Chains A and B, each alone.
Chain A
Amino acid sequence: AQTVTQSQPEMSVQEAETVTLSCTYDTSESDYYLFWYKQPPSRQMILVIRQEAYKQQNATENRFSVNFQKAAKSFSLKISDSQLGDAAMYFCAYRSGQGAQKLVFGQGTRLTINP
């Protein structure tokens, strides 16, 4: 079974600076997708960024980018120019490219932005 590990329960960063959240996963599959979701205090899960495993190029969405290291099974999220609204729980998630394609989540990292 696939597993996702987020080794940083909490992180903090100064406003306008850059922070990187770590995620590793374990799988024997070659076809899969990786996601970062944000959960603000409202608790709704919001998609931040996604990465297809077959793509070598790292995904980027405005201030958010990933460092996808397929051989190392690592999928870190970099947030540039951190803003107060970035404060939230961040979850890394894995999804198989086969079957019903359920998401497997890590335990989350709580990100605090210091003004």
Chain B
Amino acid sequence: SQTIHQWPATLVQPVGSPLSLECTVEGTSNPNLYWYRQAAGRGLQLLFYSVGIGQISSEVPQNLSASRPQDRQFILSSKKLLLSDSGFYLCAWRVGLAPDTQYFGPGTRLTVL
């Protein structure tokens, strides 16, 4: 069965520090991968998605970037964190076959102080 991992689970970082969040998927090949952010008390907003290695699409201009160095690895990064980057970050995967649904990882809670 497929499994999705995210780490770290919780992160507290000072403003201006770098960021690297990792997401890996097991048990599937060539998944579509997605990074979402959830601000406190709000819905999810898509940040990036990837349909293959090295292929990244950005949904909103921001202080973050994403990379996909391997088929089942998706990384969210920042060179200098802002206070507004605080939130809950969720990675999701999908394979384009029935049931054709996005499944989410456990998430990373990021607090920027």
Contacts and interface: CB of A to CB of B under 8 A. Distances in A.
Contact of B43 (A46, A95, A101, A106): A106
Contacts of B70: none
Contact of B32 (A100, A104, A105): A100
Contacts of A75: none
A102 B92 CA distance: 10
The bracket for how many chain B residues form the interface is 20 to 34
A107 B42 CA distance: 6
SS of B interface (majority): strand
Interface in A31-55: 33, 35, 37, 42-47, 50
A91 interface: yes
B46 interface: yes
Interface in B76-113: 88, 90, 92, 94, 96, 99-107, 109
B74 interface: no
B43 A43 contact: no
Interface of A: 33, 35, 37, 42-47, 50, 91, 95, 100-108
